[in-house]
Amino acid sequence: MIQIAKLDKDGRLVGYKQVKKAAADHVVVPTGCDLPVDGSYRWDGKAFIPRGHGYGKPPRPPVASDYAVFLMMRALLEGKSLPAECQDYVTWYEAALAKRNEELTR
């Protein structure tokens, strides 16, 4: 018997299955593979990668997150427009962290 990985629709490892013959679209894994089947690993077409990894270290944000939140709250309480620092932080977050964090919450 051949052991294959069971993947969910997002390519996350959710189990193993024994088959007599592997199809072209099956991901064959070694018998006794000990990767967890809780969805914490995803198949990238070549290897299983821990979700949320492989993105490298993000660059330093233009403004600290707590300071951006403070500026936002102060502007809201005073009925003013949000300061540019808040937009700068949002732009940085979308470019540096959004994809990794989205992957972790799917």
pLDDT digits (tens, 9 = 90+) for 4-49: 999 999 899 999 999 999 999 999 999 888 999 998 898 989 999 8
Q: What gap in Å lies between CA 55 and CA 100, rounded to an integer? A: 7
Global pTM reads: 0.53
Question: Per DSSP, what are the bridge partners of residue 28?
Answer: 4
CA dihedral 12, 18, 23, 24 (to 10 degrees): 40
**pLDDT one-digit tens code per residue, 43-74:** 989 999 887 666 667 789 999 999 999 999 99
Residues counted in the chain = 106
**Chain position carrying tokens 């944000």:** 61
